Homo-oligomer: A and B are copies of this chain.
Amino acid sequence: MHAQAMIATHPDVQGATNESLIRCIEACYDCAQACISCADACIGEPMVAELKTCIRLNLDCADVCTAAGAVASRRTASNERVIEMLLDTCAEACRLCGDECGRHAARHEHCRICAETCQACERACRDAARSVRSSKH
């Protein structure tokens, strides 16, 4: 992704990027794609009926990650309160989806990979939320 290069050239940023926020943006897009794929793969499994909770959490997680990746990409003016709350929500969506995918990881490789992607995104969101909070003081 070009998130680092794009944000570094924003007129108000001029190279002084928040690295944890950029890692979070990349993690959110990665996780959105993985959750869309995992929901789709679950729907294609013969035992789809046992994967209902997983599919639902995947779809919710993808929607929240897509919104978080977009909102965290913006640097014009400021909207820190919304970024913080959205990153906290995204971390929670990733935690719950990662836990549920983890329950199916032994049987479904797509759930195993998606669980890891969710966990990585959860960590990235928590780090970025912390950096946004600390930069306000």
- Residues of A whose CB lies within 8 Å of any CB of B are 1-3, 5-7, 9-12, 25, 29-30, 32-34, 36-41, 43-46, 48-49, 52-53, 55-57, 59-60, 62-64, 66-67, 69-71, 73-77, 79, 81-82, 85-86, 88-89, 92-93, 96, 108-110, 113-114, 117
Number of copies: 4
Nearest B residue to A44 by beta-carbon distance?
B76
Collect the chain B residues with CB atoms within 8 Å of residue A59's CB.
39-40, 59, 70, 74
Task: Give the CA-CA distance A103 to B24 in the complex, in Å.
Answer: 31
Majority-rule SS of A interface residues:
helix
A-B pairs with the 7 shortest C-beta distances?
A: A6-B37, A67-B67, A44-B76, A53-B77, A9-B109, A85-B89, A9-B110
Task: Give the CA-CA distance A36 to B67 in the complex, in Å.
Answer: 11
With contact pairs A33-B25, A79-B57 given, residues A117 and B2 touching in the complex (Cβ less than 8 Å): yes
B63 touching A71, Cβ below 8 Å: yes
A56 touching B73, Cβ below 8 Å: no
B29 touching A2, Cβ below 8 Å: no
A56 to chain B: closest CB distance in Å?
4
